[in-house]
Amino acid sequence: MDTFRIEGPVRLSGSVSINGSKNASLPIMAATILTAGKSVLKAVPNLSDISVFSKLLRQLGCKVTRSRNGGLCIDSTVIDNPVGEYEIVRMMRASICILGPLLARCGRAKVSMPGGCAIGDRPVDIHLRGLRELGAKIRLKSGYVIAEAPKRLTGKDIFMGGPFGSTVLGTANVLMAATMAKGRTVIESAACEPEIADLANCLNKMGAKITGIGSARLIVEGVRQLQPVEYQVIPDRIETGTFMVAAAVTAGELKLLNCRLDDMMAVVDRLRNIGVTVDAANDGCVVGRNGPIKSADITTQPYPGFPTDLQAQFMALLSLAEGNSVIIEKVFPDRFMHVAELNRMAANLRKEGPTVIVAGVKKLVGAPVMASDLRASAALVLAGLAADGTTVVNRVYHIDRGYERIEERLNPVGAKISWENI
């Protein structure tokens, strides 16, 4: 089993460069199959999720390679098997976002329904509703979504809101399908995440006609054909937020290079409330803390609200605050697998439904803990950096899904993380 052994407490100091965004890369990789030809995507990080998605595209008929300078080359000239097999989709839910592009390109698609997830219930009903609105015939059979649109999809006004607000990958699926539909599509209650804006900008560079980018209303004038593209994905704001918390929880100071503060206003607002300094610099920002951690309340929401993908990391930070904090998870109400593990490290957390009361403690104590999902594992690593003694994080393969060689980037700035396979 892959584990991290973390010695604490440490104080981080130095510079870390932020990688390209995982959650922008995945839908943009899917977008390349909308057209036949060679696309090159830059700044796509080396993560296990990217490898799984590359395998999925190869299964459809694409050729996917890395060039010497790190560009991800996707040759989508041939798509001869528009099928997303269960064996791959079960490893990564984001695979579902090949559905829209396959429908637009091939007029048919068969994609396994994503299974269960550690962070909670994650249906795809809104994805299917949106694609049906564009004219696709969709049925479920033996755990697969079978979608057909032998004739061209047709643009329509579509409301994409759900019980928890907008859906990120649902918006991506419908947006990609609409780019090649006949006529105009209006996507209302679209996700406004920077990753969706990046996808829309990439699609426009491929020849799509999308306006309202970054807003909750996307307007798409369908076109007959798109072109292959050379595109650089945006920096990863969730990775940036994670390293910001690393500086804060260790009372250190980190310079984060290649990050976009503009995508992180809700996060920076909370950090400053907690007593953390975040100063813009021409090539990034400087994050530090030299006073006590103040308690603060956090409610996760779709963008531009506070991101659910940083909830666990901020819980680790606030577990050391002076006073009580209240964390409410409004996007994935069950996303709390990290609570019991942090309590094993002497945090004082009490969960009540989608809310966790965080009673600040003076210190955390190292312990063996179990990672359950990507962001929970990041929170346990951050807690281990601040805790007294040794923390052993088991199942760290989760962290490789979203952070490229995190230990090799944190150790040079003062962390003591060793990777072990036991």
| Ranges of H-type helices in 36-182 | 48-60, 86-89, 99-106, 125-133, 168-178
> 16-35 burial, b for 16+ CB within 10 Å, e for fewer?
bebbbbbbbbbbbbbbbbbb
- Which residues are near ligand EPZ by CB under 6 A? 23, 26, 93-94, 121-127, 162-164, 167-170, 195, 308-309, 331-332, 374-375, 402
Which residue number, 302 or 366, has a Cβ lying nearer to ligand EPZ?
302
Gap between the Cα atoms of 310 and 320, Å rounded: 16
Which of 159, 164 has the CB closer to ligand EPZ?
A: 164
Least Cβ distance, residue 281 to ligand EPZ (angstroms):
26
Report the DSSP pairing between strands 184-188 and 157-159.
Answer: parallel
Strands (E), 181-276: 184-188, 209-211, 217-221, 230-232, 253-257
The CA-CA-CA angle for residues 344, 346, 350, to 5°, reads: 80
d(CA 22, CA 401): 9
Residue 71 in 3-state DSSP?
coil
DSSP state of 21: P
Q: Could you list the active site residues? A: 117
Nearest to ligand EPZ of 4, 306 (CB atom): 306
CB of 30 to ligand EPZ, least distance (A): 10
The two beta strands, 209-211 and 217-221, are: antiparallel
CA distance 96 to 27: 10
Shortest Cβ distance from residue 399 to ligand EPZ (Å)? 11
* Residue 145 CB, nearest approach to ligand EPZ (Å): 12
Q: State the minimum distance, in angstroms, from the CB of residue 376 to ligand EPZ.
A: 9
In the bound state with ligand EPZ, the residue whose beta carbon lies nearer, of 203 and 413, is 203
By the 8 A CB rule, do 421 and 2 touch? Answer: yes
User: Cβ of residue 175: shortest distance to ligand EPZ, in angstroms?
Assistant: 12
Tell me whether residue 237 or residue 344 sits nearer to ligand EPZ (CB atom).
237
Apex 103 CA angle, 101 and 105, nearest 5: 65
Q: Output the six-digit token pair for 82.
A: 């528009």
* CA neighbor of 249 nearest in space, from 275, 284, 281, 286: 275
Nearer of residues 4 and 403 to ligand EPZ, judged by Cβ: 403
* Bridge partner residues of 389 (DSSP): 8
Residue with tokens 């755990």: 143
Comparison of 274 and 399: residue with beta carbon closer to ligand EPZ: 399
Smallest distance from the beta carbon of 251 to ligand EPZ, in angstroms? 26
Using left for φ > 0, alpha for ψ between -120 and 50, and beta otherwise, residue 188 falls in: beta
